[in-house]
Amino acid sequence: MLNIMEHKKIEYKVKYRNIKYPRLEFRTKILQLILPFGADPKEMISKHINWIEKKQKFIADCLKDAERKKIVRRTEDEFRNLVFKLSQKDSRKLKVKVNKIYFKKMRTKWASCSAKKNLTINTMMKFLPENLNEYIIYHELVHLIERNHNKRFWDLISKRFRNYKVLENSLFSYWFLLYSVK
C-alpha cells in the first residue's frame, strides 16, 4: 500500500516494461501501473489521483450493484442460438453483413468485431440477461458501420438503446460478478 495523503491509501502493483508511455489500469480493485524502467510510481499516482479516485468509486459502485445481479443459466446451444438469432435480426436492421461468428472466453471484453466483419463473442455472455446480449451484439454490429467509439457511433447506438449508459454500467457490474477473484 502507498500512503498518498494521510487519509488515503491506494493499493497498487507496478510492472516495469520497455515502453515509452506509462499507463494506469484497474484489475477489479487493484490499480496496476505499467511504467517504463526507472519511472517513479508515486509520481504517477500523484499526477493522476483524481482519475484514480473516480475509478475506485465507480468500481465500488459496480461491486455493490453486482451483489444484486442474477446470473442467467443457459446451455451452450441455447446461448449460441440466441447469439445467431440476435445477430441475424440486427444485421438486417442495420443493413450490414457478418462474415463469421466465433466463440471464446475473453479476458478483457464482452465481444469484438474485426475488419474482416467477424464477430468474436465472449462465452461468458451466456450468463447475462438477454437484453445485455442484445445490446452487446448490436454494439459490435454498429462497428461495421463506424469503427471508432466517436459521436457518430454513440448516435447510432442511441437510436436503438437510449439507455445505453445504464446498460454499459450494468455490463461492468456483471463483469465484476463473473470475473472477480474470490
Question: Domain extents for the chain?
Answer: 2-66, 76-179
Helix count (H) and strand count (E) of the chain?
6, 8
Taking the model in full, what pTM does it have? 0.82
CATH of domain 76-179: 3.30.2010.10
Which helix (H) or strand (E) segment is 50 a member of?
A: helix 49-66
pLDDT in tens, 47-63: 999 999 999 999 889 88
Residue type at 58 in one-letter notation: F
How many Å from the N-terminal Cα to the C-terminal Cα in the chain?
20
Grid coordinates representing 173? 457490474
Q: Tell me the residue type at 55.
A: K
Q: In this structure, are residues 87 and 141 in contact, taking their beta carbons and an 8 Å threshold?
A: yes
- Note the pLDDT tens digit of each residue in 80-138: 999 999 999 999 999 999 999 999 999 889 999 999 999 999 999 999 999 999 999 99
